[in-house]
Amino acid sequence: MDDDSSQLELIRAVLSGNSAAWGEFYRSEHPKVYRLCYGFLVDAAEAEDVAQDAMLQIVDRLETFDQNRKFDTWRNTVAANLCRDRLRRKASRHRAEEGAAEIAALRRPTGGPDPAEQVSQSEIMELLQSSLASLTPREREVFVLRDLEGATSSEAAHVLEVSEGTVRSLLCLARRRLRSILGPRLPEYAGSHHSEDNDS
C-alpha cells in the first residue's frame, strides 16, 4: 500500500470515529503542519500556535475533504490560510525588517571557521530558516511549498490561489534572493541549489 493509500485509509478511520486512528493521524500530520507554519511564519512559538489551530480545523473540516483529490494539498491550504491570517494580524510588528537585520548580522565578517570545515545539514537548515525572513511573504510561501515541502507548481498555485506562472516567477525571485544571502556563508549553495528552470 502506497503512502497516499495509507493516508486515505487513516482519514476514513478518523471519520468513522476511531479514537486510536485520531491519535495516529495527529502524530502523522502535526509535524508536517508545523513545518509548513514555521516556514511561513519564521517564528517557532507562532508556528506552534497556528499549527494547533490548523490541526483542529483540519479535523473539524475533514468530512468536507474530497477523497478523490490529494490530501496534502488540501491540508496545506488550510494551514497556509491560517498562517496568512496570522501574518496580516501581526503586520505591525514588521517581521520582515527584523529578519533583514538578523540576516545582515549573519553576513558580517567574523573571521569565520576554517574554509575546509564542512557545514552540517542542520546548520544549513538553520541558516536557511533564518534567511527566509528576508523574503517577501509571497516569495516565502512559494519557496516553502515548492522547495521545502516538495509541492508541484500546480499544487502550490492551488494552495495560494495564484497562477502557475506567478508561482514560477516568485520562486525564481526567492531562489535568487536566498542565493545572495546564503552565498557568502555557504559558497556551495549557489552551485548545488535547484535550477531556476526546474519546475517538476
pLDDT of residue 140: 92
Number of Cα atoms under 13 Å in the Cβ half of residue 142 = 24
Distances (CA, A) of 125 to 39, 130, 132: 11, 9, 10
| Cα–Cα distance for residue pair 160/24, rounded to 1 Å | 28
- Residue type at position 103: I
Cα 156 to Cα 83: distance, rounded to the nearest angstrom? 15
> Contact 53/61 with Cβ under 8 angstroms?
no
- Residue pLDDT, tens place only, 53-63: 999 999 999 99
Mean pLDDT of 8-26: 93
Q: Which pLDDT tens digit goes with each residue over 94-109? A: 544 555 555 555 544 4
This prediction's pTM: 0.71
Radius of gyration of the chain (CA): 18
Identity at 123, one-letter amino acid code: E
What is the distance between the alpha carbons of residues 71 and 76, in angstroms, rounded to a whole number? 8
Domains of the chain, CATH where assigned: 3-89 (1.10.1740.10), 94-192 (1.10.10.10)
Cβ neighbors of 22 (< 8 A, separation 6 or more) are 14, 59
Residue whose C-alpha cell reads 485509509 in the numeric block:
9
Distance between CA atoms of residues 3 and 9, nearest Å: 10
Q: How confident is the model at residue 184 (pLDDT cuts 50, 70, 90)?
A: low
The residue with cell 490560510 is: 81
